[in-house]
Amino acid sequence: MTSESFNASVHLTDRHVAAGRGDHVAITGPAGTLTYAELATQVAELATGLRKLGVRPEERVLLVMSDRPETVVTILAVMRMGAVAVPVSTMYNGAELGDLVRDSRARLVVATPEFEPAVREALTGAPEVTRLLLTDRDWGEVAAPGGPVDPPYDTWRDSPALWLYTSGTTGAPKAAMHRHGAIRDVYETYGRQVLGIRPDDRCLSVARLFFAYGIGNSMFFPLAAGATAILDPARPTPGGVIARVAQERPTLFFAGPTFFAALLAAAADDTATADAFSSVRLAVSAGEALPAEIYRRFTGRFGVDVIDGLGSTEALHIFISNRPGQVRPGTSGTVVPGYEARLLDERGEPAGVGEPGQLYVRGDSIATGYWCRTATTRQVFQGEWLRTGDTYVREEDGSYRCLGRSNDMIKAGGIWVSPMEVEARLLQHESVGECAVVAYIDGEGLEKPVACVVAAPGRTVDAGELIGFCRDGLASFKRPREVLVLDELPKTATGKIQRVVIRRLAADRLDKG
């Protein structure tokens, strides 16, 4: 034995039952409710059934599941019996899912019924899969209730527990491999010391369980604290989320900048939604940097503080964050206890205060690497340090301000321009609902900032007015040289703006004159 015994599944379930809190609600929502006692029982029964089915410790089990109690039960059951849970995006089509099934070498795939067609298509090209388990048909057969259950597998902190696929900074999806101990680490650092999560909290997350951000919000943090997770299998929409908040009365609400902007747009002309978030004591934003203007609009409209933070799939959750009551709008905040951060300039030397640099972070929750991606692992995981792929500036007060992804920076007239700085200025204009600033390379091979803008509800965009507005509030070289009006900004399944696609759209439109 190389370390103390530790099983994340036991830590998140059985511990609360042993402490006499088995009757407290662990999971609730439109798909069903489970107390901690019911959750622990179902997890143990399914773990026993999976072992009888032939699943082996440290073997991968791939999950294609919407956010519902069965999904949490499955993830915990897989970890309890020593296997590796691999929840993947439900946004993928059959061919894309097939790539992940083959890459993971999973022999068992678990799915909720709405994804059966895509999964069956995926399995046509995945001969190693021996069984598809559908929760609406096969659950009773595998997780037979009432029988004797096996004890948890003797895992330890460094035992593999969870894979999460990410495109990250480099191309095609790859699996970041996480340990059992990392699940406790993210709770002890961010969940406890930043969120201050309590047993009476109710957590609602727009990000789904197959994202690192979402699985922390809806599973690791509430279950570690003995709190309640609110799960909704429906695809999140602004109207649907506002209705769910009103019905379930969460105290902690998690989303990304794009969704906060969408909530504002949905509530723009609806006075009845003014108190929609009255139950929420704290909102959290991550996934992209939260523009200061979106922060001000949301807090002004709903009266709820929003703490923005920076995390990554490779770190499992957030490692730089603002703090409740101490928000500095437009920044990602300060380093979360338990982590260290550093900025390196183009020469690999430490960047000074106010100087841009590549962001590196280290902490116990960092993944052990990418599955079967040796070259990429060596680029991203450098000793104890994780290269995040972000460019940041550290301010005098110790807060970190995002300048954008390192490959999104624009060199205009020989001077580096942060697209996020220009976007923050544009969002202050009443006609702008959403925007993205990207580089356009003109016929002479020079980079120029170009703003792609979505009009605010009921507004029209005047390109010349916006360029002048930026010139008045920024150094002249930072102003966009062109403003293109789009109906919507292309986004990923996680709601992040697809800057690569926007650069291509801008180039196509400008090249055609």
Query: β-strand 84-87 against 60-64: which pairing, if any?
Result: parallel
Residue 70 lies in a domain: yes
Spatial distance between the Cα atoms of 217 and 63, rounded to a whole number of angstroms: 18
Spatial distance between the Cα atoms of 378 and 375, rounded to a whole number of angstroms: 5
pLDDT given for residue 498 in this prediction: 85
β-partners of residue 361 are 341, 386
Domain interval for residue 452: 409-511
CATH number for the domain spanning 421: value is: 3.30.300.30
- The Cα-based distances of 379 to 320, 370, 436 in angstroms read 22, 11, 28
pLDDT given for residue 409 in this prediction: 77
Give the residue carrying structure tokens 């680029």. Answer: 379
Residue 95 lies in a domain: yes
For the stretch 339-347, contacts whose Cβ atoms lie closer than 8 Å and that sit 24 or more positions apart, written own/partner, are: 339/189, 339/315, 339/363, 341/400, 342/385, 343/392, 343/393, 343/394
Dihedrals phi, psi of 13, to nearest 5 degrees: -125, -70
pLDDT given for residue 2 in this prediction: 53
pLDDT tens across 457-509, in order?
889 999 999 999 998 888 777 889 999 999 999 887 667 788 888 988 988 88
pLDDT given for residue 493 in this prediction: 65
Residue whose C-alpha is closest to residue 192's, from 26, 322, 17, 336: 336
Write the secondary structure of 347-379 as one string of H (helix), E (strand) and C (coil): CCCECCCCCCEEEEEEECCCCCCECCCHHHHHH
Looking at 155, 179, 203, the residue that finishes a domain is 179
Query: Is 427:455 a contact under the CB 8 Å cutoff?
Result: no
Looking at 179, 199, 217, the residue that finishes a domain is 179
Residue 345 lies in a domain: no
Residue type, 352: G
Looking at 179, 206, 227, the residue that finishes a domain is 179
Q: Which helix (H) or strand (E) holds 404?
A: strand 400-405
Kindly state the tokens that stand for 484.
């293109």
pLDDT given for residue 412 in this prediction: 75
- Rounded average pLDDT per 10-residue block, the chain, 513 residues: 82 96 97 98 96 96 98 98 96 89 97 96 94 91 86 96 76 89 98 97 96 97 98 94 95 93 83 84 92 92 96 96 96 97 92 93 97 94 94 94 80 74 91 91 78 92 92 85 92 78 89 77
Q: Is 53 exposed, middle or buried (0-12, 13-18, 19+ CB in 10 A)?
A: middle
Q: What is the pTM of this model?
A: 0.86
Write the secondary structure of 174-230 as one string of H (helix), E (strand) and C (coil): EEEEEEHHHHHHHHHHHHHHHHCCCCCCEEEECCCCCCHHHHHHHHHHHHHHCCEEE
Spatial distance between the Cα atoms of 403 and 413, rounded to a whole number of angstroms: 18
Q: How many residues does the chain have?
A: 513
Q: Which helix (H) or strand (E) holds 117?
A: helix 116-123
Residue 229 lies in a domain: no
Residue 249 lies in a domain: no
pLDDT given for residue 1 in this prediction: 44
pLDDT tens across 102-145, in order?
999 999 999 999 999 999 999 999 999 999 999 999 888 898 78
H helix and E strand count, the chain = 17, 25
Three-class SS state of 77: helix
Residue 382 lies in a domain: no
pLDDT given for residue 168 in this prediction: 45
β-partners of residue 284 are 254, 307
Three-class SS state of 265: helix
pLDDT tens across 205-228, in order?
999 999 999 999 999 999 999 999
Angle between helix axes 238-248 and 257-266 (nearest 10 degrees) is 90
Q: Is 82 left (phi over 0), alpha (psi -120 to 50) or beta?
A: left
117 CB neighbour count, 10 Å cutoff = 11
Residue 457 lies in a domain: yes
pLDDT tens across 356-371, in order?
999 999 999 999 999 9
Number of structural domains found in the chain: 2
CATH number for the domain spanning 21: value is: 3.40.50.980
DSSP 8-state code for residue 291:
P
Residue 349 lies in a domain: no
End-to-end CA distance of the chain: 67
Query: Is 450:510 a contact under the CB 8 Å cutoff?
Result: yes
Give the residue carrying structure tokens 């057969």. Answer: 141
